[in-house]
Amino acid sequence: MKPILSHRVRFADLPQRRATEIRLVPDAAQLEDLAERLSVDALRKVRLEGALTPGPGRDWTLGATLGATVVQPCRVTTEPVTTRIDEPVGRRYTPEDIAPMGEEVEMEDDALEPLPQVLDLGDVLEEALALAIPAFPRAESVETLDLSAAPAGAAPLTEETVKPFAGLADLKAKLENKE
């Protein structure tokens, strides 16, 4: 997939003893393309700001903030819903082998990634934005839906009645009283 917003950084070209400030702000055409790719109506005020810092060891740490305004349809009414996103973005890039071993391995640090020769900050912005966009936006006018259903004259199911062992204590007490 062709990158919409590309801002490539070579780690070898960065200062090894101090942080490098980053700021990435897409132009209007890039925002349109990015909105289309992410299946939202519009994106405004998108920016990625922070720093790439060397260390610990031979690692590099990205500490940034993603800011964006997203307009997308309400999942209930299809009215436009505007959401402001201000999310921290953290990654640690390491030259060490981080491939999991075995069938089921839990990663200790989900922000840990292999150190590439070239990091595309546009890809980082797009990934972070895709994860931050609400999956089910709802307009303020939408009230909580009552999804209970019951035949006429019957009581709707409750949390207690759907539990399979909810009545066992009562049954046990009745049996003990008969004896």
- Residue 143: both structure tokens together: 């009230």
Nearest to 125 by CA among 36, 5, 1, 40: 5
Helices 28-37 + 121-132 axis angle, to 10: 50
Paired residues of 92 in beta bridges: 61, 112
Structure letter (DSSP) for residue 38: T
pLDDT value of position 109: 55
What is the model's pLDDT at position 32?
94
In the chain, what are the domain boundaries? Answer: 8-132
Are the C-beta atoms of residues 115 and 11 closer than 8 Å to each other? yes
The three-point CA angle 112-31-22 to 5° equals: 45
* Tokens coding 79: 């009215």
pLDDT at 112: 82
Q: What is the pLDDT along the chain (179 residues), one digit of tens a residue?
A: 677 788 899 988 888 899 999 999 999 999 999 999 999 999 999 999 999 999 888 889 999 999 999 999 988 888 899 999 999 999 999 888 765 555 655 555 567 888 888 899 999 999 999 999 998 888 887 765 555 667 777 777 676 666 767 677 778 888 888 76
